[in-house]
Amino acid sequence: MSETERIKRQILRALKLRPQTFWELINHQDGHIAAFFEALQSLLAEGTVLYQGHRFRLVREVELHPLADTLCETCGLGVVLRGYWEGIYRRFLEVTQDRPLPTSDYDQGFVRPVDTVRRVAYIYQRGDLEETDIFILGDDDLLSVAMGLTRMPRRVVVVEIDQRLNRFIQEFAQREGLKNLEVYDYNVVEALPDSLKGAFEVFVTDPVETRKGLRLFVGRCLEALRGPGAAGYMGFTHREASLQKWFEFEKFILSAGLVITDILRDFAIYPERENQWEHFYETYEIMRKLELPLPEVDWYKSSFVRFEVVEGPRVPEFEPPRDLRELYFDEESWATPLPSYLKGP
Amino acid sequence: MSETERIKRQILRALKLRPQTFWELINHQDGHIAAFFEALQSLLAEGTVLYQGHRFRLVREVELHPLADTLCETCGLGVVLRGYWEGIYRRFLEVTQDRPLPTSDYDQGFVRPVDTVRRVAYIYQRGDLEETDIFILGDDDLLSVAMGLTRMPRRVVVVEIDQRLNRFIQEFAQREGLKNLEVYDYNVVEALPDSLKGAFEVFVTDPVETRKGLRLFVGRCLEALRGPGAAGYMGFTHREASLQKWFEFEKFILSAGLVITDILRDFAIYPERENQWEHFYETYEIMRKLELPLPEVDWYKSSFVRFEVVEGPRVPEFEPPRDLRELYFDEESWATPLPSYLKGP
């Protein structure tokens, strides 16, 4: 999907809501004014849109959902789930009631259900959800389920190591009759299957935040992207990643030909109670440093970051870690549980 | 100000509110867990803070305002002005009632008063407002006035070309008895005075968005920064800057040794009515492309971007534009007014 293609769709779904002036419409799309003008001209030229009485209007039916806005009315910045999106959120809560709980074997932990659906809504706002091919590397948040409920993406492919999650998502897809939601058993240290390379317009991942883990997870995701205009989303914390690590990672992203378009601080919260991961704390590095009680508030948070391919992508060299210890641990992983297979006898 | 210094202050102002547990406190600061732990240890060691019954508490008085939170309660992302900040906003509205209006001679335009105060509150959230030295390049938003009302910064220096604004800010400072708010007549194409180089912990600017303008404005700001831990804030639009331009600019920022920590899309809105800039539209490039009415909604928006110095800063080479036309115009400046001195006879 080119940038122009994304802008066109943002325009069309806004017009499906109602005819709009130039100045209303520019607020419903992400392009700069020249690119917006070009997209409009192209829609006028191909006869999809008409300009009359200073308003643009749809001339023929388009297969898009009318714009379902999610901008927070209080502050104008965050995401609020109302109307259509409130319905998706309710259904998401229902269908994920019996989700598999996190296992320390894969450094898991899920964000609040509201944050998962808010992430999907933000991806939607940007024009990256509807009629796109989406690649998800690691899905303990069950983002694919929330996306599946919208029925908006053309295709969603989940690659995930945890077979419990994969079965859960597959059963959901079967129950809902979602033929375009595919799930594969996949360990990120293995090469990505050729059939998945260069096949997607969007990726989403929540990488392990060691230096090697970051490059490995996002490197695989970059391999999955199609070309200019494709977008990537990731969760990235300040809790276990220093600014030095952010700095190195941003250089990696830019060297791949992607621009960083959004960094939303503490967008997602990991709920202590729902994750039921009290026993994880036994092996956390931080618990050896200070006599600490188990958390009485949610404290693990994650920023939501969006990139967009400007050139390439050129996947930079990245080296898979030597072993799982190197994948999961570095000097900043103070709140990562020791997997059972790394514990002593 | 080092990163540790910032975290310490974020901790102290939170403790001034009330004693807090480790997990509460980590939510009120921006560092990663190891840096947070280090800052806490240092406060314990120097006897400012005590750890007792799983709570940290202040042992002696510190000269900081107790934390005045501004996180949006609806979505958890944006800024809401309540309590202390609502008071600042009210006063800001009062004291800026007779502000100078934008002139096309300097491509001016101000954001909504609420957005100016929200920017100050966001800078405050990050620990960049209180007891810091702040450099503002261009101040048609009157950010310095909002900052002055808080009385929190150690020093605020405004450099600005428009003498009407400078007089306005100076008169405000005099009326309020703010001796640490300084204003200088300054044209960005001139070299920065040596006395201002390397003297600040924070800069804020709303650059001209041509390629040359961006590098010129932000280059001057980088020269003003002190060293690692210093932070920069800027408004940056999608309206007149393509993603290609964002991409080049981000490479510039990273090459200077700064990491991008926040990108808040459409944080600020430029109000059409208050700016009274209807006549600007006569010379806008976009008005020649399509038969358009004057805007009936606010449409010019700007993202708020934060950087932090990780190394250096190393100020990259930047070349002042040949003339004012090159400063203000490139192929993407479709909503920039032609200054009077560039209009034909």
- Predicted complex ipTM: 0.96
Pairing relationship of beta strands B133-137 and A300-309 according to DSSP bridges? unpaired
Contacts of A30 in chain B (CB under 8 A): 238
Q: Does A261 touch chain B (CB under 8 A)?
A: yes
The partner residues of A302 in beta bridges, in order of sequence, read A268
Contact at CB, B334 and A295, closer than 8 angstroms: no
What mean pLDDT is reported for chain A? 94
Contact at CB, A246 and B261, closer than 8 angstroms: yes
Contacts of A1 in chain B (CB under 8 A): none
The more confidently predicted of residues A107 and A154 is A154
What pLDDT, on the 0 to 100 scale, is given for residue B235? Answer: 98
Over 80: is that where the pLDDT of A33 sits? Answer: yes
Of B37, B265, B296, the CB nearest to A23: B296
Contact at CB, B74 and A79, closer than 8 angstroms: no
Q: A222-261: per-residue pLDDT in tens? A: 999 999 999 999 999 999 999 999 999 999 999 999 999 9
Contacts of A52 in chain B (CB under 8 A): none
Q: Does A51 touch chain B (CB under 8 A)?
A: yes
The residue among B134, B28, B72 whose CA lies nearest residue A264 is B72
Phi, psi torsion values for A4, nearest 5 degrees: -60, -40
The partner residues of B49 in beta bridges, in order of sequence, read B58
* Mean pLDDT, range B331-345, rounded to an integer: 81
What pLDDT, on the 0 to 100 scale, is given for residue A325? Answer: 86
Of 3.40.190.10, 3.30.1280.10, 3.40.50.150, 3.40.250.10, the CATH number of B84-342 is 3.40.50.150
Q: B293-305: per-residue pLDDT in tens? A: 999 999 999 999 9
Q: How far is A123 from chain B (nearest CA, A)?
A: 13
CA A308/CA A313 separation, integer angstroms: 9
Pairs of residues, one from chain A and one from chain B, whose beta carbons lie less than 8 Å apart = 200
Contact at CB, A299 and B51, closer than 8 angstroms: no
Looking at chain A from residue 84 to 143, which residues have their Cβ under 8 Å from any Cβ of chain B? 118
Degrees, nearest 5: CA angle B243-B246-B250:
140
Name the residue type at position B233. Y
Looking at chain B from residue 212 to 231, which residues have their Cβ under 8 Å from any Cβ of chain A? none
Asked if residue A272 lies in contact with residue A333, where contact means CB atoms within 8 angstroms, the answer is: no
Candidate from A44-58, A97-111, B248-262 with smallest mean pLDDT: A97-111
Q: How far is A120 from chain B (nearest CA, A)?
A: 15
DSSP characters over A280-316: GGGG-GGGGTS--PPPSS--EEEEEEEEEESS-----
Q: A4-13: per-residue pLDDT in tens? A: 999 999 999 9
Over 60: is that where the pLDDT of B325 sits? Answer: yes
**How distant is the alpha carbon of residue B127 from its chain centre?**
13
Degrees, nearest 5: CA angle A187-A333-A134:
40
What pLDDT, on the 0 to 100 scale, is given for residue B277? Answer: 87
Of B51, B118, B310, the CB nearest to A243: B310
pLDDT grade for A35, boundaries at 50, 70 and 90: very high
What pLDDT, on the 0 to 100 scale, is given for residue B321? Answer: 85
Q: A286-324: per-residue pLDDT in tens? A: 888 888 999 999 999 999 999 999 999 999 888 888 888
Q: Does B244 touch chain A (CB under 8 A)?
A: yes
Mutate to test the interface with A, among B23, B89, B334 (most CBs of A within 10 A): B23
Over 70: is that where the pLDDT of B344 sits? Answer: no
Domain range annotation of chain A: 3-58, 87-342
B227-251 core/surface letters (b: 16 or more CB in 10 A; e: else)? ebbbbbbbbbbbbbbbbebbbbbbb
Over 90: is that where the pLDDT of A336 sits? Answer: no
CA B224/CA B90 separation, integer angstroms: 31
- CATH topology for the A87-342 domain: Rossmann fold (3.40.50)
What pLDDT, on the 0 to 100 scale, is given for residue A345? Answer: 57
The residue among B123, B113, B15 whose CA lies nearest residue B59 is B15
- Chain B residue closest to A34 (CA)? B332
Over 70: is that where the pLDDT of A282 sits? Answer: yes
Q: How far is B327 from chain A (nearest CA, A)?
A: 19
Contact at CB, B262 and A263, closer than 8 angstroms: yes
**How distant is the alpha carbon of residue A202 from its chain centre?**
8
Contact at CB, B332 and A34, closer than 8 angstroms: yes
Name the residue type at position A64. L
What pLDDT, on the 0 to 100 scale, is given for residue B323? Answer: 84
- Please state, for a pLDDT cut of 90, what percent of chain A lies above it: 82
Distant-in-sequence, close-in-space partners of B189: CB < 8 Å, separation ≥ 6: B216, B320, B321, B327
What pLDDT, on the 0 to 100 scale, is given for residue B106? Answer: 80
Over 70: is that where the pLDDT of A44 sits? Answer: yes
Contact at CB, A77 and B246, closer than 8 angstroms: no
What pLDDT, on the 0 to 100 scale, is given for residue A163? Answer: 95
Over 70: is that where the pLDDT of A344 sits? Answer: no
Candidate from B105-109, B149-153, B309-313 with smallest mean pLDDT: B105-109
What pLDDT, on the 0 to 100 scale, is given for residue A61? Answer: 93
Of A74, A247, A267, the CB nearest to B259: A247
CA A27/CA A40 separation, integer angstroms: 14
Over 70: is that where the pLDDT of A149 sits? Answer: yes
Ramachandran bin of B183, using left for φ above 0, alpha for ψ from -120 to 50, beta for the remaining angles: beta
Contact at CB, A75 and B76, closer than 8 angstroms: no
Contacts of B238 in chain A (CB under 8 A): 30-32
